[in-house]
Amino acid sequence: MLSCLLLPVLLAALTCAQEQEEKEAAPGEFPAITPVTAEELLQEIELARGDVVLLNFWATWCLPCVAELPDLLKVRNELGDRGLRLILVSCDFPEQQEAARKLLAKQGVDFQTWLKNGKDDPFISAVDDEWEGTLPATFVYDRSGRKRHFHQGKATYEDLRGLVLDVMDGSRHESGN
């Protein structure tokens, strides 16, 4: 008799968990991923003047990228109130957009993110001549929109935090900022 009573409870719990998972993956909810050209992305950086921008290119199929995401979010959470803006750009193919969105949701991303739109070589060249297309790739821009740091490959939390703080703390001492 007791096992008969537990079965509906277990089924209800499983159904609830499945509904929650489906809700997290519902289209139109954050994290929204919007296709972006290199030119539009550079405009986003320009619009962020006044903030330090931490720009990261990543992909779901790139294991170092996925491993780096929690550290990027930790830096954002820690330094966001000091004027840090994190811009995430997925380099996944358009048909992988939903997988990228699910991964971001699982990481707790609740802000606008981007999906690279355009052929690789022209996109990469338009973003920065120094970038060879390696993922992950991270750029740090100062409050005036000038690139200050560039890192190809996985960075640690300490690396990322250090690059951002260098720009935040160093910008106080630079003329014109």
pLDDT in tens, 152-164: 999 999 999 999 9
Would the pLDDT of 21 be above 60?
no
- The answer to whether the beta carbons of residues 78 and 54 sit under 8 Å apart is no
Confidence at residue 65, expressed as pLDDT on a 0 to 100 scale: 98
Q: How many other C-beta atoms lie within 10 A of the C-beta of residue 39?
A: 11
Confidence at residue 32, expressed as pLDDT on a 0 to 100 scale: 86
| pLDDT > 70 in the chain, percent | 79
Domain containing residue 63: CATH number: 3.40.30.10
Is the residue at 5 inside a domain?
no
CA neighbor of 101 nearest in space, from 19, 15, 35? 35
- Cα separation, 135 vs 89, whole angstroms: 11
Confidence at residue 31, expressed as pLDDT on a 0 to 100 scale: 80
- The residue range of the domain holding 149 is 29-171
Is the residue at 111 inside a domain?
yes
**Number of structural domains found in the chain:** 1
Is the residue at 135 inside a domain?
yes
- Cα separation, 147 vs 105, whole angstroms: 29
**Confidence class for position 59, pLDDT limits 50, 70, 90:** very high
